[in-house]
Amino acid sequence: MAVRHLAETQPDRFSFSPENEAWAERQVARFPEGRQASAVIPLLWRAQEQEGWVTKPAIERVAEVLGMPLIRVLEVATFYTMFHLEPVGRKAHVQVCGTTPCMLRGAGEIIDICRTRINEHPHHCSADGDFSWEEVECLGACVNAPMVQIGKDTYEDLTPESVEALLDAFERGERPASGPQNGRQHSMPIAGATTLTEISYADDDRPSQRPRATSGSTGAVHPAAPPASPGAVEDYVAAAHLREKRAGQRGDAPRATGGADPRGPATEAQEIGRVDPTGRSDEAAARATDDAPGKPEGHSAGVAHPEDTRTDADRAAQPRSDRDSPRGDKEG
Ligand code: FES
């Protein structure tokens, strides 16, 4: 990563626009007396939005507004790559993540495209001044590698073709949709769920009746595995949160997941908005399946802990919140 320092050529002065000056005052007022320095990043960001990059006079102005030593603001501005310390392309400044996961997944090809289309050298604008690029360290989207950041947005799961398409769009003055560029949602496996696959949401979709995904750390999925229903995981998490919320309202002690709603599954289903034709929530239906006679004792997902050697009678004699721990003591 390049050493970050202020540009050699700087403007003479900087002042926030009247609108941004008022905005800055509101930001500073949000922090307690003596803690105004907490507004340093928002103010630097606003200065960058106004000027296109963070100039030395802007850093001095921010230090003045916040009553901070200049060196403290310089430290912040030169540490974070989100702050551009020299002029960048008018239409897009492409920050290419070059850390290991992205590099292993093709960041080198993205850099080659930037060298060809924008400028051979990072931190230099294209001939028309519209684009610039640089290589930065991990931007926290490794699971969607390779990726770039342009302005506030990240563009992920890139290929050479999608990078070219992105640059074309910015060149036309468009603002392409951010996020994965290969069609997947966030960081979900593109070919369907590879975890929590034991949870069933419909009687005709029980784990025993569908092929299991055979994923490894790469997220590859067995071609025969059908995609999980799009909202399945969200619904499961929503139901868990709902139970925790109700437990908190009742003052219950925290418990392991999998407890039934005391008002019955139909009420729970109505609240989370998923009811099957029998009146059960999808999750309640899954629980009923898990609790069916002949099913092994274990967690609500129907998976017994391999070290759990207790009998059904042992487990029934324990308080509910202790049952899911194979050692008989409370978890977490
Ligand atoms: S390695 Fe590229 S986002 Fe983390």
Taking the centre of ligand 1 as the mean of its atom positions, its distance from the CA of residue 107, in whole angstroms, is 10
Over residues 189-234, the pLDDT tens digits come to: 888 888 888 876 555 454 444 444 433 333 333 333 344 555 666 7
**Ligand 1: nearest atom to the Cα of 98:** 2
Residue 329 banded pLDDT, cuts 50, 70, 90: very low
**What is the distance between the alpha carbons of residues 211 and 213, in angstroms, rounded to a whole number?**
7
Q: Which residue has the higher pLDDT, 79 or 260?
A: 79
The sheet with strand 179-180 has its strands ordered as 131-136, 92-97, 148-150, 153-156, 179-180
Query: In the chain, which ranges are E strands?
Result: 92-97, 131-136, 148-150, 153-156, 179-180
Residues with Cβ within 8 Å of 148's Cβ and at least 6 positions away in sequence, in order, are 94, 95, 96, 97, 110, 154, 155, 158, 163, 166
Decide: 148 in ligand 1 pocket, CB within 6 A: no
- Alpha carbons 68 and 147: distance in angstroms, whole number: 35
Average pLDDT for 255-281:
45
Atom of ligand 1 nearest to the CA of 144: 3
DSSP code for 199? -
Q: Looking at residue 311, what is its pLDDT? A: 60
**Which residue from 97, 150, 157, 158 has its CB within 8 A of the most atoms of ligand 1, so it is best to mutate?**
97
Query: What spacing in Å lies between the alpha carbon of 45 and ligand 1's midpoint?
Result: 22
What does the alpha-carbon distance between residue 119 and residue 114 come to, in Å, rounded to a whole number? 7
Structure tokens at 147: 């990726």
> Using CA atoms, how far apart are residues 149 and 3, in angstroms rounded to an integer?
19
CA gap 107, 122 in Å, rounded: 14
Given a cut of 80, whether residue 282 has pLDDT beyond it is no
Ligand 1 centroid to Cα of residue 77, in Å, is 21
Residues in CB range of 236: below 8 A, 6 or more apart:
196, 199, 283
C-alpha span between 102 and 94 (Å, rounded):
15
pTM for this entry = 0.60
Residue 39 CA, ligand 1 centroid: distance in Å: 27
The listed range with the strongest mean pLDDT (126-130, 253-257, 297-301) is 126-130
